[in-house]
């Protein structure tokens, strides 16, 4: 029986539990038959990393928590939170877990999950609150430099003219559109910061200009 099944700490380091959590989430989302399973899985991860509105869990539906794979995700998330707390009881658990996730290879794994599994197949079914807190916020919480590094290859998937996401984009275009939208948040922030006057700022402003010309209008 794994720690996800019994909810107990098996002595593994936090990184190992995070890796298991993300792998379990990927399997859960790949096998999901309803958007509520996807939302509940992402909600379990989000509640580890930042404060999520209490009423957001109701979006997933009352029966979703009993789903065996969602329960495994929730138990692994609880194990990760407990390990982060045990590592330093004086530290903010959110900060500890965000540092572990975003300061390692795991952010690339999470971004791949969001962009290549969630965005093409499920994002159109997300209510606005879930889109904000269970998709966009994962990227907003990440360091801007990491976001740009991770998202840049996904933006290159779409070289065609812009279309609305509801207009039947293929999976590559859906991935590219969401990557652009997520990156624009950080580029807008950078343009208002000290990087505007630096070489990096000039490069980011150029990327920003290109993206603005190509990003789909969600209005």
pLDDT tens column, 79-111 = 999 999 998 888 899 999 999 999 889 999 999
135, 114 in Cβ contact below 8 A? yes
The string of pLDDT tens digits covering residues 12-52 is 899 999 999 999 999 999 999 889 899 999 999 999 999 99
Measured in degrees and rounded to the nearest 5, phi and psi for residue 188 equal -65, -40
Whole-model pTM?
A: 0.76
Say yes or no to pLDDT of 218 above 80: no
Residue 160 is predicted with a pLDDT of: 45
| 162: nearest Cα among 214, 205, 112 | 214
The string of pLDDT tens digits covering residues 139-182 is 999 988 888 888 888 887 654 444 444 444 456 778 888 888 88
| CA–CA gap between residue 172 and residue 179 (Å, rounded) | 11
In this prediction, residues 109-122 reach a mean pLDDT of: 94
DSSP state of 169: -
In this prediction, residues 106-117 reach a mean pLDDT of: 95
Q: CA torsion sign, 106 to 112 to 115 to 117?
A: negative
- SS3 label, residue 174: helix
- H helix and E strand count, the chain: 12, 0
């Amino acid at each position: 029986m794994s720690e996800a099944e019994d909810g107990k700490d098996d002595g593994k380091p936090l990184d190992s539990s995070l890796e298991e959590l993300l792998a379990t989430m990927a399997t859960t989302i790949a096998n999901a038959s309803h958007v509520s399973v996807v939302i509940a899985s992402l909600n379990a991860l989000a509640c580890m990393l930042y404060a999520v509105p209490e009423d957001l869990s109701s979006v997933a539906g009352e029966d979703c928590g009993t789903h065996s794979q969602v329960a495994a995700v929730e138990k692994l998330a609880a194990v990760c939170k407990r390990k982060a707390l045990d590592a330093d009881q004086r530290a903010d658990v959110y900060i500890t877990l965000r540092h572990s996730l975003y300061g390692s290879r795991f952010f690339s794994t999470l971004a791949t999950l969001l962009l290549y599994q969630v965005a093409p197949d499920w994002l159109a079914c997300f209510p606005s609150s879930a889109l904000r807190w269970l998709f966009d916020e994962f990227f907003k919480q990440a360091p801007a430099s990491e976001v740009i590094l991770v998202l840049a290859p996904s933006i290159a998937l779409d070289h065609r003219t812009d279309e609305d996401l509801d207009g039947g984009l293929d999976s590559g275009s859906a991935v590219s559109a969401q990557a652009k939208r997520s990156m624009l948040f950080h580029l807008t922030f950078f343009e208002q910061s000290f990087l505007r006057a630096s070489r990096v700022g000039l490069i980011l402003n150029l990327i920003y200009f290109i993206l603005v010309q190509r990003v789909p209008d969600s209005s």
